[in-house]
Structure formats: C-alpha cells, structure tokens
Amino acid sequence: MQNIILVGFLGSLAAGLATGIGALPVLFVKRPSKRYLDLMLGFAAGVMLAASVFSLLIPAIDDGGVWVAVGGMLLGALVLHLIDCLVPHEHFIRGHEGPSSRLRKIWLFVLAITIHNFPEGLAVGVGFGGGSLSAAVALAIGIGLQNMPEGLAVALPLAGEGYSRGRALLYATLTGLVEPIGGLLGVSLVLIAKPILPWGLAFAAGAMLFVISDEIIPESHRNGHERLATLGVMVGFAVMTLLDVLLG
C-alpha cells in the first residue's frame, strides 16, 4: 500500500510540476499573443473534459453505478462552489469585487489557479488508488498537459508587474505544487476505504467540470477568439482520448 501511495504522490507531483514547465517561456519571450493563450486555455479545457469523462466518470459508473457517479459529481461541483464563495480570490473574468490594485488582483488570480489545481491533484491520486496504473499514468499526463498553459498564464502577469522572470517562474511552479497534496489525500483515502473509490472518482470529475465551465472556457472566450478556443478544446479532448485509450 505504501508503494501505491508513493507512486500516487509522485504522479500528482509530476503533473503539478508541469505548471512550471509551461511557464518556462517567460524566461525567453516578452509576451505570447492572446490568440495563442486562448488556444492553449481551450486545449487545457478539452483535456480536462476528456479526463473527467473517460478517466473518472465512466470508471465511477462501472464501480459504483450511475447514482453514485451522479451524486459524487454534483458533490464535487458543490464543494468547489462553496470554496469559490468562501475563499477570496480573483476570477479570470469577473474580477475581485471592491477596490484593489492591479498587483493585488494578480495575486488573487494566482490563488484562484492554486485552488483549482487541488481537485486535479485529487483526481490523479484517486486514479492511482483505483488500481489501474496505466489509466492513472494517462490521467497524470493529461493533467500535466493542461497545467502548462495555466503556468504561463500565471508567470506572464507577474513578470509584467516587475517581478524578475526567475521569480515569476518560481511562483507559477508553486501554484502547481498543491496538486501532490491533493494526490496524496486522494490515493490515501481510496486505499484506506476502497468502497469510496467511485465516490472519489466522481467527486474529482465534478470539481474539474466546475472549473472548466466556471473559469477556463469563459476566459478563453474573453478576447474574441471563441472559434480558436473551441478548436483548442477539440484538439485537447482528442489528445486526452488517445492517451486514455492507448495507455489505459
């Protein structure tokens, strides 16, 4: 059991560190175009959508039945909604209510990224705890891929506010390091109480679906690049589907 917990932790850690890998361009380029960022955000949303369905919801239905899957999914969305309401942070679009400086908004945005990385780590951990190593690896790779544009989205505004490129990269990487915490929690809970596996899978899927609909897709449409972002969603969904089938 300890080996599985370690593997689950390392898998979610690798996925979280991909946030820093995605932020690496901040060291070399001034600022990618908004078209590129919207395409990448769409890609991230597509990967998360496919992961939620194929790697989480379908296994939850297989293991626990459709009512457990639906109940766990709605519970995951509800918990993310409550966190969203109770923890002050910057939304991608709506912004922080009340007066605040641009720098404060950026840090609240960083907090938002950190908050929504947790259910992704949880999903990876639950995947490893479920017993299918190849499927869990595919999920970790998919989550890592979708973390990359988020890392860049964190690093660029910080660099624009005068932080050194190295510090901007460091802070972007740190936002992803909440994922191994979620991963450790997910894999441990599933191994200790095996019957909660379908609930855990569905909960992680619901939390991820909430983030996709509430944050990522609206942001990818904010600058008038809706069709390009939709293309990114389709490509991301296809890539994750291939990963799930070929590695699952």
Rounded Cα–Cα distance for residues 149 and 232 (Å): 12
Asked if 80 and 119 touch (Cβ cutoff 8 Å), the reply is yes
> What range does the domain containing 69 cover?
2-247
Domain count, the chain: 1
Rounded Cα–Cα distance for residues 147 and 114 (Å): 11
* Predicted model pTM: 0.73
Rounded Cα–Cα distance for residues 212 and 191 (Å): 28
Rounded Cα–Cα distance for residues 141 and 156 (Å): 24
Q: In which residue ranges of the chain is pLDDT below 50?
A: 92-100
Asked if 124 and 15 touch (Cβ cutoff 8 Å), the reply is yes
What digits encode the pLDDT tens for the residues 93-147? Answer: 444 444 445 555 566 666 767 776 777 788 888 888 776 777 788 888 888 887 8
Position 93 scores a pLDDT of: 45
Could you tell me the sign of the dihedral formed by the alpha carbons of 37, 46, 14, 71, in that order? positive
